[in-house]
Amino acid sequence: MPPVEDGPLHALGIGALQAAYAAGATDPVAVVAALTGRIAGHPSGRDAVLALVPGAEAAAEESARRIGTRRARPLEGVPFGIKDIIDCAGAPVTCGSRLTGDRVAEADATVVARLRAAGAIPLAMLATTEFACGSAHNPRYGAVANPWNRARWTGGSSTGSGAALAARLMPLALGTDTGGSIRVPSAWCGVTGLKPTRGLVPRTGVAPLSWTLDHVGPMARSAADLARVMPWIAGPDGTDPHAAGRYDATRARGVSDLRVGVAEGWFTAMQDDAVLAAWQAMLTLLERQGARLVPVDLGPVATAHQDGYTIVMAELAALQEPDLDRAAALDPGTRARMDQGRLFSATDYLRALRRRPVVLAQVLDALADVDVLVTPGLGGEAASLDSLTVEVNGEAHPLQAVLPRNTMLFDYTGLPALMLPTGLGRTGLPVAAQVVGKPYDDALCLGVGAAFQRETEYHLRAPREKRPPTPGQS
């Protein structure tokens, strides 16, 4: 257990909550009350949180009883948020779309059921872009502003998850990642998110965007907190045909003598100098801890990047085809991706699928002499909500030219990828780096992240909050 921390309850991460419960310093009833109060009063509670999950208070009371009688489960009393494409029994799950009406989920998705079984408490449904692929300006619920600067975006599509964690509305959130949608909001909101190895976390009960690329994973404040969660959500469920493998915590090891791959070219192009400086500082710190830096060449990444998007848009178009007669009600961003997906030929789609194992083999061959790969995260700080552009060295670029460059390859290949904060950029907003592993080396990625975070405090930084006026002041 980490030491018991002082400070407000909403500021405690997963490990800190567990330590506080064990010491009797607080209980889940007080924590859920504190978080629901914060959600009600915080600006991010109005855009990142769509609804509170019924039964959270009763679950907190049950967790408090278990802790008091020494029957605590592994994640007892840890409140968590759920992206609005992941089913949670009794809660509204709308996929951020007007087409879904007032749907209420009848049963938990596997990942939610597993967290409940481990003692965690479903607290809130969190905003997403429409069907996890629409634009920042969701037509049903509106945009989710970045808590660091509400004129900026959080990044999609796990947009509410990133904002809720940054705003300290909860210590854990679930997201999904098809082109970068766990890692992008993690990077821009200054939190830590893991896209697990493909299939490691079952997708049963999760609305699909791309059945061959979708991943489900956790987002939290630190890599150590993610390592506390992963053993309890990973592994086949007997229903998801793509679910495979086990989370192996023994794959984590110290940084000393770790071979860290450093790829340039595609991964360092379209990157702000502040992002690159923070990435290089991370590499220097890992080297100081005993890691060995090894140059690697991942080959023609651009082709794989485009193949990933061909698959996403073609599969989106196929999934949404039954709603073509209602397409006018869709977010323009969703509709544009559907329209583009319908223009691809069968040969375009099959060619992209056929190249996938070839690219995976090439990437694994390039990584044969290293343990992990560390890349810059996103090319700049959070995008402007007005223009949906990202500034790179003072020049504005369209969102899609910058946002997914360093993330899509690892959805396409299915490799585990961790995004974690590495500092602040030119305007004081978070920047990040990415740790990528070989299949089922998720614990190794988290171990590298935890080693970095033990020596830095970037993951502890929170957005500055306005202080309420003192009595007598307006």
The pLDDT of residue 415 is 98
Alpha carbon separation from 137 to 95, 144, 310, 320 (Å, rounded) = 14, 8, 23, 20
Q: DSSP of 5-46, one letter per residue?
A: PPS-GGG--HHHHHHHHHHTS--HHHHHHHHHHHHHHSHHHH
Query: Angle, to 10 degrees, between the axis of helix 301-320 and the axis of helix 332-343?
Result: 100
The pLDDT of residue 37 is 98
The pLDDT of residue 6 is 86
The pLDDT of residue 233 is 98
How far, rounded to the nearest angstrom, does the alpha carbon of residue 296 sit from its chain's CA centroid?
Answer: 26
Q: Give the DSSP letter of residue 86.
A: B
The pLDDT of residue 473 is 47
The reply to whether the predicted model has a pTM over 0.95 is yes
Structure tokens at 376: 């810059």
The angle at the Cα of 20, spanning 72 to 89, to the nearest 5 degrees, equals 50
User: Among residues 44, 63, 97, 157, which one is catalytic?
Assistant: 157
Q: What backbone torsions phi and psi does residue 164 show, to the nearest 5 degrees?
A: -65, -40
Query: Angle, to 10 degrees, between the axis of helix 301-320 and the axis of helix 346-366?
Result: 140
Active site residue 181: yes
The pLDDT of residue 468 is 56
User: Among residues 97, 158, 181, 222, which one is catalytic?
Assistant: 181
Dihedral Cα 218, 220, 223, 224, nearest 10 deg: -100
**SS3 at position 181:** coil
Q: DSSP of 208-234, one letter per residue?
A: -S-TTT-EEEEEES-HHHHHHHHHHH-
d(CA 387, CA 84): 25
- Residue 297: exposed, middle, or buried by beta-carbon count in 10 A (0-12, 13-18, 19+)? exposed
Structure tokens at 15: 């490990």
The H-assigned helical ranges of 344-416 are: 346-366, 399-402, 408-413
User: Among residues 44, 83, 97, 158, which one is catalytic?
Assistant: 83
The pLDDT of residue 412 is 98
* β-sheet bridge partners, residue 52: 124
**Yes or no: is domain 11-460 CATH 3.40.1280.10?**
no
The pLDDT of residue 474 is 38
- pLDDT per position in the chain (474 positions), as tens? 788 888 899 999 999 999 999 999 999 999 999 999 999 999 999 999 999 999 999 999 999 999 999 999 999 999 999 999 999 999 999 999 999 999 999 999 999 999 999 999 999 999 999 999 999 999 999 999 999 999 999 998 999 999 999 999 999 999 999 999 999 999 999 999 999 999 999 999 999 999 999 999 999 999 999 999 999 999 999 999 999 999 999 999 989 999 999 998 999 999 999 999 999 999 999 999 999 999 999 988 989 999 999 999 999 999 999 988 999 999 999 999 999 999 999 999 999 999 999 999 999 999 999 999 999 999 999 999 999 999 999 999 999 999 899 999 999 999 999 999 999 999 999 999 999 999 999 999 999 999 999 999 999 999 998 765 445 543
